[in-house]
Amino acid sequence: MTQPPDWNKIAADPAFKELQRAKRRFIVPATVFFIVYYFALPLLVGYRAEFMQRKLPGGMNLAYVFALSQFFMAWVIAALYVRAAARWDKMSDNLLERLGCK
């Protein structure tokens, strides 16, 4: 049976701190971007209604296209997160192997 990991040793390791920094470098900007993007629609519709009512080719107005683009943006951010998480998993695995926890 394997020993449980020494969490204090893991937390003190520079590689773990780098893993945390790498995650923060992605998660914080992605979250801020999405929140701004998400709330831009109601703000623009409320304060710049004439701009959002502009007709686009195909008969839809800018507000509908912007609203639909939020679905696309959520998928893009999710795909980028999955890619980044694969790198974080490798960093984590390397750290745990080096410390003898795996």
Tell me what the mean pLDDT of segment 74-96 comes to. 95
Instruction: Please indicate, yes or no, if residue 2 is contained in any of the structural domains.
Output: no
| DSSP designation for 4 | P
pLDDT one-digit tens code per residue, 30-42 = 999 999 999 999 9
Give the tens place of pLDDT for each residue, 22-32.
999 999 999 99
d(CA 34, CA 31): 5
Per-residue pLDDT at 2: 64
Residue 42 is assigned to a structural domain of this protein: yes
Answer yes or no: is 58 within a domain.
Answer: yes
Domain range for residue 12?
7-98
Is residue 1 in some structural domain?
no
Q: Is residue 47 part of a domain?
A: yes
The structural domain count of the chain equals 1
The percentage of the chain sitting over the pLDDT mark of 70, rounded to a whole number, equals 96
Query: Residue 37 contacts by C-beta under 8 Å, 6 or more apart in sequence?
Result: 70, 73
Q: Give CA–CA dist 36/48, Å, rounded.
A: 16
36 within a domain of the structure (yes/no) = yes
